[in-house]
């Protein structure tokens, strides 16, 4: 048998005023849905059953004021057990509980508690003490509530510490990430500047090459003959036969000087009686006669005019 009601009929039949007795019902599961339908049942007795756990929705039975769970096989209470804020009397005698949920500290109305015959944690067992009479059970409730509040505060501090540690770790991660991003931005900025400098140098080199190419035609133009409109044309290089004729005239001139010198020597000096001078004088006389006839002179003038 698992649920009350399948053996003894409807739970309402067991309700006596505000008390509902489900003890000794061979229960291994709490009929939470049926109990929730009986908000008048503020006193619930589930003792002497086979309960090993309580479902989480059991904590929704906030109308309970007195609860007897003694002599079951409960190994733990639901984490939200503290939602039973109206609970004043709680009997957990002879179960298998080791610890209590931290939410137990929220049972601010709890006045009576029995935790005897449970394998409690030594610290919790020492705090709970015995529950042999009404006074001890009330002291147990008070001391356990104070202890669970301290445990809750310690856990809250530990949670805050972990949150703070995590926050500091997150700040460090964010700072590290920001530093990394700043370093990456600086690297990209430096690479961009280097790329810009490289492109600028390439641009300057192209401009310099272009200016150099523009200078070459100007130099060639300066070296070329000036135009007809403003400058004298260059003289053509002298022809080879003109230079040869000048040399020939020079040689003839020298020859004439020599001949004139010899002629003077033959006609004026004592050498005129020599055979060579006689011949020279004869040639001179013939030349003078020829010049008089202008034949040689006309020939020279014609040659010059042809040149």
**Residues, the chain:** 307
DSSP state at residue 78 = -
Question: pTM of the full predicted structure?
Answer: 0.56
Query: Do 259 and 273 contact (CB within 8 A), yes or no?
Result: no
Whether the per-residue pLDDT at 261 is higher than 50: the answer is: yes
Query: Do 98 and 121 contact (CB within 8 A), yes or no?
Result: yes
| More confident of the two residues 291 and 73 | 73
> Torsions phi, psi of 95, nearest 5?
-125, -160
Query: Do 47 and 71 contact (CB within 8 A), yes or no?
Result: yes
Domain ranges of the chain: 11-154
Torsion sign, CA atoms 29, 34, 36, 41: negative
β 66-68/19-21 pair status: unpaired
Q: What distance in Å separates the CA atoms of residue 304 and residue 286, rounded to the nearest whole number? A: 24
Q: Residue 113: helix, strand or coil by DSSP?
A: strand
Q: Name the pLDDT band for 290 (thresholds 50, 70, 90).
A: low
Give me the half-sphere count of Cα atoms (radius 13 Å) on the Cβ side of residue 123.
6
Where is average pLDDT lowest: 53-67, 136-150, 250-264? 250-264
Query: Do 93 and 114 contact (CB within 8 A), yes or no?
Result: yes
| More confident of the two residues 71 and 206 | 71
Residues ≥6 apart with Cβ < 8 Å to 93? 70, 71, 114, 115, 116, 117, 118, 131
Across the chain, mean pLDDT equals: 84
Q: How many CB atoms lie within 10 A of CB 111?
A: 14
How far is CA 102 from each of CA 113, 146, 166, rounded to the nearest angstrom?
16, 11, 23
CATH hierarchy code of domain 11-154: 3.80.10.10
Q: What distance in Å separates the CA atoms of residue 132 and residue 136, rounded to the nearest whole number? A: 6
Q: Model confidence over 202-248: pLDDT tens digits?
A: 999 988 888 888 887 766 666 655 545 555 555 555 555 667 777 77
- State the pLDDT at residue 294: 58
The share of the chain scoring above pLDDT 90, in percent, equals: 57
Mean pLDDT of 10-25: 91
Most confident of 64-68, 165-169, 176-180, 209-213: 64-68
| More confident of the two residues 8 and 154 | 154
Q: What distance in Å separates the CA atoms of residue 61 and residue 84, rounded to the nearest whole number? A: 7
Query: Do 11 and 33 contact (CB within 8 A), yes or no?
Result: no
Beta bridge partners of 68: 45, 91
Got the DSSP string for 232-289? PPPPPPPPHHHHHHHHHHHHHHHHHHHHHHHHHHHHHSGGGGSHHHHHHHHHHHHHHH
**Token duo for residue 227:** 């135009």
Radius of gyration of the chain (CA): 70
Mean pLDDT of 264-270: 71
Query: Do 69 and 51 contact (CB within 8 A), yes or no?
Result: yes
- State the pLDDT at residue 279: 74
| More confident of the two residues 283 and 224 | 283
The helix or strand, by DSSP H or E, that contains position 62, with its residue range, turns out to be: none
Whether the per-residue pLDDT at 4 is higher than 60: the answer is: no
| More confident of the two residues 301 and 98 | 98
- State the pLDDT at residue 17: 92
Whether the per-residue pLDDT at 3 is higher than 60: the answer is: no
Whether the per-residue pLDDT at 24 is higher than 50: the answer is: yes
């Amino acid at each position: 048998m698992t649920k009350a009601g399948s053996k003894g009929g409807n739970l309402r039949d067991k309700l006596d005023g505000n008390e509902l007795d489900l003890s000794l019902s061979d229960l291994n599961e709490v009929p939470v849905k049926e109990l929730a339908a009986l908000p008048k049942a503020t006193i619930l007795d589930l003792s002497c059953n086979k309960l090993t756990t309580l479902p989480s929705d059991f904590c929704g039975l906030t109308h309970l004021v007195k609860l007897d769970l003694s002599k079951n096989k409960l190994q733990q209470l639901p984490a939200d057990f503290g939602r039973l804020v109206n609970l004043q009397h709680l009997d957990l005698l002879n179960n298998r509980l080791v610890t209590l949920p931290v939410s137990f500290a929220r049972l601010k109305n709890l006045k009576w508690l029995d935790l005897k015959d449970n394998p409690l944690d030594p610290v919790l067992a020492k705090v709970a003490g015995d529950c042999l009479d009404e006074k001890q059970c009330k002291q147990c409730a008070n001391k356990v509530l104070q202890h669970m509040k301290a445990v809750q505060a310690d856990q809250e501090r530990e949670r805050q510490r972990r949150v703070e540690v995590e926050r500091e770790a997150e700040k460090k991660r964010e700072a590290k990430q920001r530093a990394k991003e700043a370093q990456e931005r600086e690297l990209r900025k430096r690479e961009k500047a280097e790329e810009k400098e490289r492109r600028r140098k390439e641009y300057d080199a192209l401009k310099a090459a272009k200016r150099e190419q523009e200078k070459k035609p100007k130099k060639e133009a300066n070296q070329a003959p000036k135009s007809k409109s403003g400058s004298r044309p260059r003289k053509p290089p002298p022809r080879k036969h003109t230079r040869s004729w000048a040399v020939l005239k020079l040689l003839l001139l020298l020859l004439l000087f020599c001949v004139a010198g010899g002629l003077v020597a033959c006609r004026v000096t004592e050498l005129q009686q020599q055979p060579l001078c006689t011949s020279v004088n004869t040639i001179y006389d013939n030349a003078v006669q020829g010049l008089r006839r202008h034949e040689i002179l006309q020939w020279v003038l014609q040659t010059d005019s042809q040149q």
